[in-house]
Amino acid sequence: MKNSQRLALFFLLPSFFFVALFSIFPIVESFRLSFYRMILTLPWLGQRMVGWENYRDLLTDPVALASIRTTVIFIAVTIPLELLFGLGIALVLNEMFRGRGLLRAVVLIPWAIPTVVASQMWRFIFNDRYGLVNFALFGADTSSYLAPLAHPYFALAAIIIAEIWKTTPFAALIILAGLQSIPDDLYEAASVDGATPWQKFRHVTLPLLTPALLLALLFRTIDALRVFDLVFVMTQGGPADATNVLQFYGYKKTFAEGMIGYGSAIAVTVFFMSLVLALAYLRAFKTTRLQGQTP
């Protein structure tokens, strides 16, 4: 018994070393630094403890507040649409038909494409001179072509479209795994009772799918909170901070402006947002399980 404890510890240690050094220590350090004033471009200021000042600044910084709002809008629009499209794709993939394997492989393609590549691709599609979107809207009339990525609302919409395109397959796969875990005899029983397809979906599929949907919701939300690549490539947070999501703002403050303390306060804020969301979903997840909805 003692022996297996020691052995387990010995086997876990190498992985723990990396995770501790490059994830756990950094998060603790970010917390600590968020209470300091430290600016890399002004090294003579040194590292000064300032208590909650960085957080107070955050609450009065209009760019930071707008950034929080943009991030929330981004999540609130992308996630429901991703889950809806994901559910649609999963329902099709769950049917038996010729070419199903091929379609499942095709669905994986947006997922496999590097996000930076997807970002450049959508940037080109929304391009103000040769973009497909402009051609679709205005045909050959180049004088009325728009620059969507230079427009505050359209730029955010473009990033949202690119995000939905790229990540819907992942949501579809999780939902598909949930669909496949629903036993066939439940549908057969419903058929015997004379249920219509819609009734089957509403009273068999949907309740049993809730855990998978919640899981997709959890993973996708936490991931959407970290959106960065699309913003960096497509708009650099612009125009006029209209697409400046939190992770990009934190990056700019920390790495472009060297404001280590303030950047850490942003980082900690993002961390707490994902923590709260994760806990809320995990709670919901547990409740649905407790209600005995999983067979």
Partner 1 sequence: MKRSVALSFYSIGIALYCLVPFLWFVLTSLKSSAELTAIPPELIPSFHWGFYQSALQNYGLLHYVVNSAIVAGATALITVAIGSLAAYAIARFQLTWTNFYLLLLLVVSMFPQIAIAGPVWTILDRLQWLNTYQGLVAAYIALSLPLAIWILATFFAEVPREIEEAALIDGCSRLQALYKVVLPLAAPGILTAGLLVFIHAWNEFFFALIIMTDPTVQTLPVGIALFPGEYTMPWGEIAAASTIATIPLVVLTLIFQRGIVRGLSAGAVKG
Nearest approach, Cβ of residue 273 and partner 1 (Å): 8
41 interacts with partner 1 by CB under 8 A = no
Say what angle helices 100-112 and 62-93 make with each other, to 10 degrees.
170
Ranges within 42-101 binding partner 1 (CB under 8 A):
88-89, 92, 95, 97, 99, 101
Please say which residue, 55 or 135, places its beta carbon nearer to partner 1.
135
One symbol per residue from 107 to 146: x for binding partner 1 (CB under 8 A), - otherwise; what is it? xxxxxxxxxxxxxxxx-xx-x-xx-x--x---xx-x----
226 interacts with partner 1 by CB under 8 A = yes
In 3D space, the residue among 122, 85, 123, 129 whose CA is nearest the CA of residue 107 turns out to be 85
**Number of neighbouring beta carbons within 10 Å of residue 284:** 15
Query: Which of 219, 238, 239, 284 is close enough to bind partner 1 by CB under 8 A?
Result: 219
Window of 43-51, 73-81, 149-157, 245-253 that interacts with partner 1 by CB under 8 A: 245-253
190 interacts with partner 1 by CB under 8 A = no
Query: Which of 83, 156, 173, 231 is close enough to bind partner 1 by CB under 8 A?
Result: 173
Nearest approach, Cβ of residue 68 and partner 1 (Å): 13
Nearest approach, Cβ of residue 126 and partner 1 (Å): 11
Nearest approach, Cβ of residue 116 and partner 1 (Å): 4
In angstroms, rounded to a whole number, what is the distance separating the alpha carbons of residues 163 and 32? 33
**Number of neighbouring beta carbons within 10 Å of residue 91:** 16
Maximum C-alpha span of the chain? 79
Q: Tell me the site size for partner 1, rule CB under 8 A.
A: 95
Cis, peptide link before residue 207, omega less than 30° from 0: no
Nearest approach, Cβ of residue 11 and partner 1 (Å): 4
In angstroms, rounded to a whole number, what is the distance separating the alpha carbons of residues 27 and 20? 10
268 interacts with partner 1 by CB under 8 A = yes
Tokens representing residue 124 in the block: 């080109």
Please say which residue, 92 or 150, places its beta carbon nearer to partner 1.
92
Nearest approach, Cβ of residue 151 and partner 1 (Å): 18
Using CB atoms within 10 Å of the CB of residue 43, give its burial: 0 to 12 exposed, 13 to 18 middle, 19+ buried. exposed
Gyration radius of the chain over CA positions = 24
Residue bearing tokens 């000064």: 48
Residue 290: what residue type? L
Nearest approach, Cβ of residue 194 and partner 1 (Å): 19
